[in-house]
A and B are shown apart, each in its own frame.
Chain A
């Protein structure tokens, strides 16, 4: 019953579920390293999903859809930046407020464009993003199909893991970002432009999170549904804490979480004896609690995380 094909399917499915979490998580990780806690990640992903779907629906062009999703995400994060950096508002409250705003705006605009009366079948697009098979590599026995036959976003996410790690720990820019996150006042005295760095990182986060969201509506599925991100942004933020703000650990944590999720679906589908379906449903949550207990103790984030910064000079 449990064949190699099944295990391949499990791993492939894990990587599929992993991609949006990893993309959004990496972007947020950079921002959190600079001392900003952006809870509006969830809303940014939702906005990305919505804008991508609308553009794809009206133009049929998935490239423009992705591009505009990333611009929309950047605009939303820029708004967050203005509110929390320039106006120094509370980051948690602003983030949550923006999430509520996006849920409202997206469903309002959806209605405004498709009318108040929707036919039994929701609007949907005809083609979705197609996986790219990397030549040669995808022919490798067993692992070729799992690793090298995905949407371009997945490859980008894996490359980004190492890029963020390299940026944070191997470059002067990364050192500055981390310095800002620990002590923005001192960093400011040393001549680092705290606000500019944070603005730049937030706009970058918006671009990436918008694309991560667009995956849901034009990559993995062909519709937009109300609040369709279903808390993936929050999960990404939780995974950052689990991974101690380290991109490499984030890859591991996000993969493990997606793997457990894909696994529990299969425990149900294969009707594995002695494992009741309720146990399968419990697995992802059990995993989160156990991992937090094991890895989450004594974890300290960037010292200035979520604290507004005011220039004293």
Chain B
């Protein structure tokens, strides 16, 4: 009886072993067949007269963040109008970006755009290894040495922030204007300072208050920060981060008019009743320039600090509220814009935040 069982067990084990071997073999066969089937589709000759430029962009946060949205929009525009191929990876941790860049290079991408400050060290390292691949690094320290195949760009939209400041400085009734912003880091400070400088240039008595919420993405805290500013008497708020629009709307319900400026993208659609204008960044001309350089085979690295002149920064009015701006203010802003574009006026750049500067 015991022997019988043992035999039975052995048979069972034999069968199950057999089954495993069979299944594995089947998977391998199916895999090989599928591989041939699909690879033959891929190998099929494609009539491509001009080689498509392949661009890969790497984002550190989701594309909903305005800083990324601008690049994503410009690239989507380039896909439709310049016939490039575009892929992207989002939420790529700085520690993981080297792998992602190497994968894109291995896949034959021509232009790699690591779109975050934290990526700059990896970009420098890999760009040295692959001198034929073009890199455009989105922000990084300007005092470092970059390989010749790296373009360094940043959101130099202080020109538009300055114009927003001029508008606020001219129009404020309480002489208090505020900014709700994330952290006191150079690229943020540049905008906050330009906004303050613009306001001070037309109204030396204006008080400038900046509130840092210490987070890139916390609309609830941003809203509370804006409420604090409104209680402090601010009637113009530059919303460097999400949050102030809802606070301004609540104030409007209570009969207090507080106007906001959107940042990076045109945000007037989010709150048409309180967003007066948006300090916008447009990367289409820049992306076009990059692609033309690559097509012509003349990629030139270096630091790009484009501004209003190149169509890179713009103050976009909310059409529904533009009528609230007095004609003389509107004219002043338009004149200044012309002067900036003609190079007759240069917006000051400060990369540190010192509240005493604007006392």
Contact assessment for A262 and B228 in the assembled complex, using a CB-CB cutoff below 8 Å:
yes
B306 at the interface (CB under 8 A from A): no
Contact assessment for A266 and B232 in the assembled complex, using a CB-CB cutoff below 8 Å:
yes
Q: Mark A273-313, 1 if CB is under 8 A from B, else 0.
A: 00011000100000000000000000000000000000000
Contact assessment for A221 and B219 in the assembled complex, using a CB-CB cutoff below 8 Å:
yes
Q: Mark A220-238, 1 if CB is under 8 A from B, else 0.
A: 1111011110100000000
14 interchain pairs, CB-CB under 8 A: A5-B231, A9-B227, A17-B220, A17-B224, A107-B62, A221-B242, A225-B217, A228-B219, A230-B215, A230-B221, A265-B213, A266-B232, A269-B211, A281-B214
| A268-B210, A269-B209 known; A221-B246 Cβ under 8 A | yes
| Docked complex: B202-233 residues within 8 A CB-CB of A | 207, 209-215, 217-221, 223-225, 227-229, 231-232
Q: Which of B130-138, B261-269, B307-315 contacts A (4 or more CB under 8 A)?
A: B261-269
Q: Chain B nearest CB: distance from A184 CB in Å?
A: 38
Q: Chain B nearest CB: distance from A19 CB in Å?
A: 11
Residues of B within 8 A of A270 (CB): 209, 228, 232
Per a CB cutoff under 8 Å, which of B69, B73, B91, B217 touches A228? B217
Contact assessment for B225 and A121 in the assembled complex, using a CB-CB cutoff below 8 Å:
no
Residues of B within 8 A of A124 (CB): 270
Q: Chain B nearest CB: distance from A213 CB in Å?
A: 11
**Contact residues of A with B, CB < 8 Å?**
5-6, 9, 13, 16-17, 107, 117-118, 120-122, 124, 128, 216, 220-223, 225-228, 230, 261-262, 265-266, 268-271, 276-277, 281
Contact assessment for A277 and B73 in the assembled complex, using a CB-CB cutoff below 8 Å:
no
| A225-B217, A281-B212 known; A118-B224 Cβ under 8 A | no
A-B contact count (CB 8 A): 110
Q: Chain B nearest CB: distance from A251 CB in Å?
A: 20
Q: Chain B nearest CB: distance from A71 CB in Å?
A: 23
Contact assessment for B223 and A220 in the assembled complex, using a CB-CB cutoff below 8 Å:
yes
Q: Chain B nearest CB: distance from A227 CB in Å?
A: 7
Contact assessment for B217 and A120 in the assembled complex, using a CB-CB cutoff below 8 Å:
no
Contact assessment for A225 and B64 in the assembled complex, using a CB-CB cutoff below 8 Å:
yes
Nearest residue (CB) in A for B280 is A120
Contact assessment for B246 and A222 in the assembled complex, using a CB-CB cutoff below 8 Å:
yes
| A223-B219, A226-B217, A269-B209 known; A121-B76 Cβ under 8 A | no
B178 at the interface (CB under 8 A from A): yes
Cα distance A120–B234 in the bound complex, in angstroms: 27
Cα distance A216–B181 in the bound complex, in angstroms: 19
Cα distance A98–B212 in the bound complex, in angstroms: 31
Contact assessment for A216 and B220 in the assembled complex, using a CB-CB cutoff below 8 Å:
yes
Specify which of A5, A107, A277 lies most central, judged by the most chain B CB atoms within 10 Å of its CB. A277
Contact assessment for B224 and A120 in the assembled complex, using a CB-CB cutoff below 8 Å:
no
Contact assessment for A13 and B355 in the assembled complex, using a CB-CB cutoff below 8 Å:
no
Residues of A within 8 A of B213 (CB): 265
Contact assessment for B227 and A13 in the assembled complex, using a CB-CB cutoff below 8 Å:
yes
